[in-house]
Amino acid sequence: MKRSIIAVLLTGGCILTGCGVTAPHNDKAPVQETTVPVTTKVSTTAATTTTASATTTAPATTTAVLSEPPASVQMVPLDNVEVYQGLTVSQLFPDTNAELLEKDKVIDTSEVGEKAVKVKFSYEGAVYEKDYAYQIHDTTPPIVLNSGWEPYAKQGQPLDFNKLVGYADNFDRSPVLTYTGEVDTNVCGSYPISVTVTDSSGNAVSWDMTVEVVPEIPKPQDNNPRVAFEDFKANNDYADARFGIDVSAWQTNVDYNAVKEQGVEFVIMRMGYYYSEIKMDDYYKRNIEEATAAGLDIGVYFYTTDNTEEGVREHARWIVEQLGGRQTYFPIAFDWEEFGHFQQYGMNIHDLNDLFEAFCDELEKAGYKGMLYSSKNFLNNFWTNRNNRPVWLAHFVDVTDYTGPYAIWQASAYVRMNGIEGDVDVDIQFVNEPLE
Q: What is the DSSP string of 244-306?
A: EEEE-GGG-S--HHHHHHTTEEEEEEEEEEESSSEEE-TTHHHHHHHHHHTT-EEEEEEEE--
Asked whether residue 154 is assigned to any structural domain, the reply reads no
Give the range among 50-64, 106-120, 160-174, 204-218 with minimum mean pLDDT: 50-64
Per-residue pLDDT at 43 exceeds 70: no
Quick one: pLDDT at residue 143?
Answer: 93
Asked whether residue 208 is assigned to any structural domain, the reply reads no
Q: Which residues contact 289 (CB under 8 A, 6 or more apart)?
A: none
Asked whether residue 261 is assigned to any structural domain, the reply reads yes
Share of the chain above pLDDT 90, in %: 69
Q: Which pLDDT tens digit goes with each residue over 315-340?
A: 999 999 999 999 999 999 999 999 99
- Split into its structural domains, the chain has a count of 2
3-class state of residue 414 by DSSP: strand
DSSP 76: B
What are φ and ψ of residue 78, in 5° steps? -95, 130
Q: Containing domain of residue 98, as a range? A: 63-136
What are φ and ψ of residue 193, in 5° steps? -140, 165
Asked whether residue 364 is assigned to any structural domain, the reply reads yes
- Separation between Cα atoms, residue 160 and residue 150, nearest integer Å: 13
Domain boundary, last residue among 136, 151, 171: 136
Asked whether residue 401 is assigned to any structural domain, the reply reads yes
Quick one: pLDDT at residue 13?
Answer: 32
Domain boundary, last residue among 136, 152, 178: 136
Domain boundary, last residue among 111, 136, 161: 136
We report the CATH number of the domain holding residue 413 as 3.20.20.80
Q: Which residues contact 17 (CB under 8 A, 6 or more apart)?
A: 6, 7, 8, 34, 147
Give the range among 135-139, 233-237, 268-272, 314-318 with minimum mean pLDDT: 135-139
In three-state form (DSSP H/G/I as H, E/B as E, the rest C), the secondary structure along 151-194 is CEEECCCCCCHHHCCEEECCCCCCCEEEEECCCCCCCCEEEEEE
Residue type, 390: P
- Separation between Cα atoms, residue 65 and residue 270, nearest integer Å: 57
Quick one: pLDDT at residue 115?
Answer: 87
Residue type, 276: S
> Residue 167: beta bridge partners?
144
Q: Which residues contact 384 (CB under 8 A, 6 or more apart)?
A: 353
> Residue 65: beta bridge partners?
127
Asked whether residue 35 is assigned to any structural domain, the reply reads no
Q: Are residues 236 and 369 in the same domain?
A: yes
What are φ and ψ of residue 119, in 5° steps? -105, 120
Per-residue pLDDT at 36 exceeds 80: no
Which of 286, 212, 185, 250 has its CA nearest to residue 420? 250
